[in-house]
């Protein structure tokens, strides 16, 4: 006899750990595994409810005494770049874009290491080796792309000669200068992680990658670009408030970000709902039954 069982994701909570964004705080995450045939639907549904993907896990902050992390996304149709952002687009107009399957390369890893050593040497990813990097790129149960950006070899004095396979100033071949791991969802692009050549920082490549993803989403007819978490009071994450048509996920719904300077970042006891209440509010997609055979 064959029975059909519903597919119900199991949720878990991490133990408190030091917060990477706000000093003196403890972070806690609500998470679930992302696997099987329903992974894409689950990723799409939970991303719309403030979750983010890390390899085969979906997570959302659920800190006991703090609620300062807000999932953020850009409304593509309403986005208008600022004057400063238009200058960034002009400064990076020489870059070419190439989207590939999620497959890690030696060139990507070397660029990743250069980026971490220059900008995040004391961060949580600083010790990531080539195998862990490959897992970050390749362990994706959803539709993902690696968006690579190349610059002409003669556009940066003293550039590495090995930042892309066979690339060097001598040969004139393009040089890998930036990378973004991107998920393609039913309503937008989710920027999972990006990194770039540290020597190009004066051209604001991080900003350019976001602006270019808005362009990609527009061309594809996708309404949103998901940026991860906006954390007011965190120098590492507060920059996202500078993008036009930004929405944040707050109080169970997406709403335009207005007056970001007015957000209270003071920790408060019981800032988050109890886990049981949070779980009750999560809307799960219908990802079908699992068939089991019994004698």
Q: Which residues contact 179 (CB under 8 A, 6 or more apart)?
A: 108, 111, 112, 146, 147, 148, 149, 194, 195, 196
More confident residue, 196 or 1: 196
Quick: pLDDT tens for 49-66.
999 999 999 999 999 888
Are residues 125 and 41 part of one domain?
A: no
What's the domain range around 7? 2-71+252-293
Query: Is the pLDDT higher at 280 or at 268?
Result: 280
Q: Are residues 242 and 212 located together in one domain of the fold?
A: yes
Phi/psi for 214 (5° steps) reads -60, -40
Does pLDDT of 5 surpass 60?
A: no
d(CA 88, CA 265): 30
> Is residue 256 located within the same domain as residue 233?
no
Residue with tokens 């219908």: 286
Residue 165 predicted with pLDDT over 70: no
Residue appearing with tokens 């149960």: 141
Instruction: Please tell me whether residues 145 and 42 are part of one structural domain.
Output: no
Tokens 């992974």 belong to residue: 39
**What percentage of residues in the chain have a pLDDT greater than 70?**
87
The total of structural domains in the chain comes to: 2
Task: Tell me the C-alpha distance between 246 and 244, whole Å.
Answer: 5
Residue pLDDT, tens place only, 110-122: 999 999 998 865 6
pLDDT at 35 over 70: yes
What is the domain-level CATH number for residue 125?
A: 3.40.630.30
Residues 237 and 258 occupy one common structural domain: no
196 shares a domain with 108: yes
Same domain? 101 vs 236: yes
pLDDT digits (tens, 9 = 90+) for 77-100: 999 999 999 999 999 999 999 999
The predicted-structure confidence for 205-220, as pLDDT tens digits, reads as follows 999 999 999 999 999 9
Check whether residue 171 and residue 130 sit in a common domain.
Answer: yes
pLDDT digits 0-9 by tens, 247-263: 999 999 999 999 888 88
Residues 39, 154 share a domain:
no
Q: In terms of domains, do 131 and 15 share one?
A: no
By the 8 A CB rule, do 248 and 71 touch? yes
Q: Are residues 83 and 198 in the same domain?
A: yes
Distance, in Å, from the CA atom of 210 to the CA atom of 97, rounded to the nearest integer, reads 13
Q: Does one domain contain both 240 and 163?
A: yes
Torsion angle (degrees, nearest 10) of CA 42, 70, 230, 110: -30
From 226, 247, 268, give the residue that closes a domain.
247
Q: Determine the pLDDT at residue 123.
A: 62
């Amino acid at each position: 006899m064959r029975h059909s069982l519903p597919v119900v994701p199991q949720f878990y909570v991490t133990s408190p750990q030091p917060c990477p964004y706000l000093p003196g705080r403890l972070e806690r995450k609500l998470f679930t595994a992302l696997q099987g045939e329903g992974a894409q639907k689950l990723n799409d549904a939970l991303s719309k409810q403030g979750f983010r993907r890390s390899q085969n896990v979906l997570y959302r902050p659920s800190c006991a005494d703090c609620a300062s992390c807000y999932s953020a996304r850009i409304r593509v149709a309403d986005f208008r770049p600022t004057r400063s952002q238009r200058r960034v687009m002009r400064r990076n107009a020489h870059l070419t874009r190439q989207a590939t399957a999620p497959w890690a390369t030696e060139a990507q890893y070397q660029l990743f290491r250069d980026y971490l050593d220059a900008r995040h040497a004391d961060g949580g990813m600083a010790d990531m080796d080539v195998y862990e990097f490959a897992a970050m790129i390749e362990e994706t149960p959803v539709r993902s792309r690696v968006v690579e950006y190349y610059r002409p070899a003669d556009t940066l004095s003293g550039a590495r000669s090995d930042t892309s396979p066979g690339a060097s100033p001598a040969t004139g071949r393009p040089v890998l200068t930036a990378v973004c791991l991107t998920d393609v969802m039913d309503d937008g692009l989710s920027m999972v992680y990006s990194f770039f050549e540290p020597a190009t920082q004066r051209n604001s490549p991080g900003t350019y990658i976001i602006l270019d993803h808005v362009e990609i989403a527009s061309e594809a007819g996708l309404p949103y670009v998901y940026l991860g978490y906006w954390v007011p009071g965190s120098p590492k994450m507060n920059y996202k408030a500078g993008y036009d048509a930004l929405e944040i996920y707050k109080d169970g719904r997406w709403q335009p970000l207005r007056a970001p300077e007015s957000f209270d970042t003071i920790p408060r006891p019981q800032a988050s709902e109890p886990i049981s209440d949070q779980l009750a509010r999560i809307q799960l997609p219908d990802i079908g039954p699992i068939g089991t055979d019994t004698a």
